[in-house]
Amino acid sequence: MQVRGYYAVCEELSIAEKLVRGGAAILQMRAKRASSRELVALGHELRALTREAGIPFVVNDRLDVALIVEADAVHLGQDDLPLAAARRVAGGRLAIGISTHTPAQAEEFARAGADYLGFGPVYATTTKENPDPVQGVAALAEAVRRAAPVPVVAIGGITVERAPEIVAAGAAAMCVIGAVNAAPDPVEAARQIAAAFR
């Protein structure tokens, strides 16, 4: 799975369509309050959308749902299934991304075999309950260096204005949620994030 560009995250089809139209290179389903049944139904809808758009589809946290809806990857947090166990269950059918919150964690999980890494929060964020400590751009650059060649996706408080700093730090992709999903024009906001990688 190629990890490069604007990494979009959503929990409903209507916003997903706008993010894809705006140039999302990857789409992740993250719906923390949805039931398993609701996740599978939404996952099938988003899988169809991403297939049509020709971009990878990622399921957050739920390895079982990712396998059921034939996602390209599952993204796991530090409190989810251990990487080695997830790899055994996935059996090569999914790429596996891991959330990391320090450069040392990024290096650890890169060496452990993660296919890509999330890193953050780079800046203060309001889209996550109980966020980890802010890391900053310098720590992002260090995480990129220590994780190489495993791609790093920057996340946390990223805005259109901050996007060039993220690219300059060497991130392969950036996950922008609030500044795009809640923008007056999500399609245009997505386009501006995607453009940072051109």
Catalytic residue annotation = 30, 99, 128
> Which distant-in-sequence residues (6+ apart) come within 8 Å of 90 by Cβ?
63, 66, 67, 74, 96
Rounded CA-CA distance 96/151 in Å is: 12
Three-state SS at 157: coil
Rounded CA-CA distance 53/67 in Å is: 20
Q: Which of 103, 73, 68 is nearest to 2 (CA)?
A: 73
The separation between the first and the last C-alpha atoms of the chain, rounded to the nearest angstrom, is 19
Quick one: which H or E segment has residue 42?
Answer: helix 36-53
Cis ω for the linkage preceding 184 (within 30 of 0): no
Distances (CA, A) of 126 to 71, 114, 161, 179: 27, 27, 17, 10
Handedness of CA 149, 133, 131, 105 (dihedral sign): positive
